[in-house]
Structure 1
Amino acid sequence: MTTGTEQHHEHDWQSREYVDYWIGRDVTRDDERREHLLRMAALLPYEPDAEIRVLDVGAGYGAVSQAVLDMFPNAHVVLHDFSAPMLEHARERLERYESRTSQVMADLADPAWTQAVGGPVDGVVSGIAIHNLREPELIARVYADVFTLVKPGGAFLNWELIQQGDTSRAANTRAALVMKQRSLFEETGVRPSLEELAAERERRRPSGGVGRRARRSRPTLMDHLGWLRAAGFDEAECFWRDGSNALIGGYRLSSEA
């Protein structure tokens, strides 16, 4: 999912060829992410039949938006992204929801992006996108921008990649391998060694992945929660975390509260 400034790093989000390659690799994880995306949508504080307007920041090819549209049949989702090829993929993916979606292309690094999006909105969602801004000050400013767009009584929900210590990362990796080993044994009666599973994991790892330095430069969970509170959200929470993945969010209480 693309936001703006990361085109200056290793990704070329304006290239249709690169975006096609990236989506072809990423879409294979859609099924395993689906439950988490639906849970994120369900955390929006509205009844399922509510007629709400939701903004998807860094919408990419539309996976998060689709979860919101499915969870709220009367919702309209505004898909924001900085990549024209990504938005074209989203348009194709969400063709059957066409009357309930609109698109905006804007760079989050430009403070005027909120004017392009328009507001207010009942909720804002984002999936594995905003961390691409890289600079903590910029991420904090975007959180503040988002707050200005959310109506009182609304929410901002963000599935993000966060910094994880070396020890906890190693423990999570080993735990995943142990669970994989257990699952294979139950299904086939064969128990491959953890070393074999680790080697297979490395073989399947896409080239050009995120390096250790980039992982260490990510903000921590506490950073994100602090920025949400500083932005003005009355309640900031982590709803789910698994290793370097976290579902965080902030609620803007109604003016009557």
Structure 2
Amino acid sequence: MVRQWVGGGVGRAAMMPRVNSTNGLRRVAATRYVTPFREGGSLPGLVEADDLGMYVLKFRGAGQGVKALIAEIVVGELARRLGFRVPEIVLVELDPELGRAEPDQEVQELLKASGGLNLGLDYLPGSFDYNPVVREPSTETATRLLWLDALTLNVDRSWRNPNTLLWHRELWLIDHGASLYFHHSWHPDRFPATTYRFDAADHLMLPFAGPLADVDAELGARVTPALLDEVLALVPDEWLAQDEAFGTEGRAAYARFFASRLAQRSWVADLEAARAARV
């Protein structure tokens, strides 16, 4: 299915993400619920906010809860810092009363369950699903994105569900809620694991990727503890506090995952093997 986020006006912050001087995400309040996007299981919606911007809203009351929103922030903001284009991520205060006029009961229930702080991505009007067959990516872009998704365990960027958009002739990354899947069942006594499942065989960029060694050396060196601290600081405390395993210590747990993932690079060899088999 083609995702076409179309609407009035150019996305205000998509070209130059606004991260304020306190190293936090901008916060806005939803003022109007426009329409649902009837794709996927989370049923995101389009909202207008008090800054007059339009945002694709990811709801805390959806099936995967705030864990999916945490993954959106951590992986999306890490991707941005590694040079990928990602729509600005904002925190959105939602009043469930905005959904009173919505005729769809499923949407009404979702809005009622999502009062408070949610997550929004800057709306990219006129964007559509990226198809590498139509517009082939560069080898560098394909290799870097394959590496990033393997690092973050993003199991949801396939030919069937690309989770990339073409906007103004450029590639944009969206929908990282399925990444970091371990946090849905992590446990302090068994975390981090030595290995994690990641099958690259169906990855959108695998047919176009080149050798991983140089990209691994470059990006691995850029994902420093300081960079991870910067990204993890963006996650709201109230979302972390809901986790039964780590609570607000979750930031340190995510940092340990990345440290472990970067310390042992067997997954890079697995990527190289998948790429070689594809070639």
Same fold (TM over 0.5): no
TM-score, reference length from structure 1: 0.28
